[in-house]
Amino acid sequence: MFGKKSIKKRVLVVEDDALLAKILVEKHEREGFLVSVVENGLEVADTVKSFSPNLIILDLIIPGIDGFAVLKQLKANTATEKIPVVILSNLGDEGDIRSGKALGAEEYFIKSNVEVKKIVDFVKKRLGV
C-alpha cells in the first residue's frame, strides 16, 4: 500500500566495549533496526522503559550490575519477561552458558567465536525481519 510506513524493530545493545558496540550498532542499523546502547547494567531498566526494545543483546561482564543480574531482573518483571535476550560474552565455559540459558537467554554467543553477521542474522530471524 502506498504511503504505508514500516515500523522499525528496536534492538538494545548492552555492551561496555565501545568499538564492539559501534560495530553492532552499524551492522544492525544497516539492516534497518533502530539501535540504542547502554554500557552499564544499572542503565538497562530505565532504557528498556524508554526505548521499548524488541530484543536485547547483553554482555555479561559490564559495570554496575553484571549481565546475569540484568537478565534475572528482566525475566522476573512481567513488563519485560517476554523480550528476547541474546547473550554476547567472553565468558565461554559450559557453566556460564547453562546459567545464561537457564535464566532465560534465547541464544548465547561467545565473542571470540562469532562473527557479527551471525548475530545480526539471528536477530533478523528472531524478529521476523
**5 domain residue, yes or no:** no
Report the pLDDT value the prediction gives residue 55, as an integer from 0 to 100. Answer: 98
Report the pLDDT value the prediction gives residue 5, as an integer from 0 to 100. Answer: 53
- Only one residue has cell 559501534, namely 22
Indicate whether 1 pLDDT > 50: no
d(CA 91, CA 3): 46
pLDDT of 71-83, one tens digit each? 999 999 999 999 9
Interval 62-67 mean pLDDT: 96
Find the helix or strand (DSSP H, E) in which 24 lies.
helix 18-30
Beta bridge partners of 87: 58, 108
**3 domain residue, yes or no:** no
Count of domains for the chain:
1
Range of the domain at 118: 10-124
**16 domain residue, yes or no:** yes
Report the pLDDT value the prediction gives residue 6, as an integer from 0 to 100. Answer: 65
**99 domain residue, yes or no:** yes
If pLDDT is split at 50, 70 and 90, which confidence band does 48 have? very high
**111 domain residue, yes or no:** yes
What's 95's domain CATH number? 3.40.50.2300
Report the pLDDT value the prediction gives residue 10, as an integer from 0 to 100. Answer: 98
**51 domain residue, yes or no:** yes
**2 domain residue, yes or no:** no
d(CA 74, CA 2): 38
Indicate whether 64 pLDDT > 60: yes
**129 domain residue, yes or no:** no
Indicate whether 110 pLDDT > 90: yes
If pLDDT is split at 50, 70 and 90, which confidence band does 129 have? confident
**Secondary structure class of 79 (helix, strand, coil):** coil
